[in-house]
Structure 1
């Protein structure tokens, strides 16, 4: 953890958010997890991958920088909105667990009404980003809303809420391609399917931090479902992710250099599988956060495949 930063429950205190923002805004920054950027990175990457994969001769095979900036803004806003919505729905569960009891809503720092207003404001930012895209991309983006609204309830009904999160968090793989090409094709669909397995991988690792608390409050997760079978399951998830990503590159007809470069994100992911300690919450969190590097490595491979001549 960064020097000077302490944890109150699961919330970092003393970081840059505390130093920069006025005190009255801090509960809202914590509500949207502004001090924990890994969430919006994981939401952003499928969108950036797809934008890069769809790049064509009009940008010399490089991703459109304006779209990258727009998707960055949208990812921060919509990840914040998702966390706010999740905390509204889960406020009674959060109040019963020491790790989450000091979150803004259960602690009383933000009322439910204030949280709902804040949710709408963040949603409007995301909507503004979406409306800046072409008409087809707007429709594709709006079709993700049922997935978003249903997600917080999945852990009440299935041991695989991580799969539903995959459908939701990886949806940008469709939006990015649609924003560039104005259509959908098999390549972004393969990338979307691969991203589902990537989410299963990283969020199962993350869920192992929470398995004791999940048992206390009576919610479900893939960590509880898999138990000691987690490592072979992670191996399966990573293999499926990389295989479907390679298929996406093949369908998009990228340069051959893309395929050997896939060894970089694949190696990083297999390192996570082989070294993660599912009984060590700190290690699980570190491995989970390291998926930002997975994103960068795959992004570089895709750009190499689309921007290389020949």
Structure 2
């Protein structure tokens, strides 16, 4: 431990912790989830192609299309809920990048099926597992090569640290990620590492409460006349419900619902008193956001329209407060619509 950018004992303790939680060979922590994403993408060379699930976090989309595309990497955005569609896509791919469930439409991608297709096409499969955490879903066990998290979210769980991690299934990818971590320098600080280590100690206590509250809030929202649609994979009629149930042990606490118009969404957000407006997620407190102007503002209007990210969509990360308080607050907000 001669130089803290190269190695730090607290950061290394966290990396071993997170690798164990995801059942990986090793892990490398970075200064943010986007820094971890960039570290993984540094494995891709100019001229290579990357397939991406078409509904991903806006920051990921921005990094891929506005930054990395300038360095000669080609990106193809595909419907990753259909593994056969990826298999039919023309040309070679070096990597397939997916989220499941996706942000913000909660689409479900079948990890094992995509892993088989990626293996057949000699591509790496990378899964952003931020929404589920390893408590509910472990993609490496389903065939993924690398798992990425924004540790800012459920792993930390207290909205007081920013960080990211890339977790690998085997050592051949670990060597490069460690080299990049030192060379590029976007490391997780010792204090932030300690905060996330603290967060992992309560992960198994927090996640069931998050999900139970999420179930109650999603059920409430679905019963409201002002709500046009609720996106949550825990509902039996969700298109990806059965796939998600096979590959995960829980449905999580991220819910998206449609109020139809920007005006309706604004009215609800202004009226809330318990749920806080914020772009983040995964903390013990409930955060609510407007994807079109916040997390997915980097998409063009045409791209959002094509994907179905309308101006009336609202995303909520349900915390561990008393569920009745949250429901009462949402009822207050809906009454203002």
TM-score band, normalised by shorter chain: under 0.3
- Structure number with the higher helix fraction is 1
- Structure number with the higher strand fraction is 2
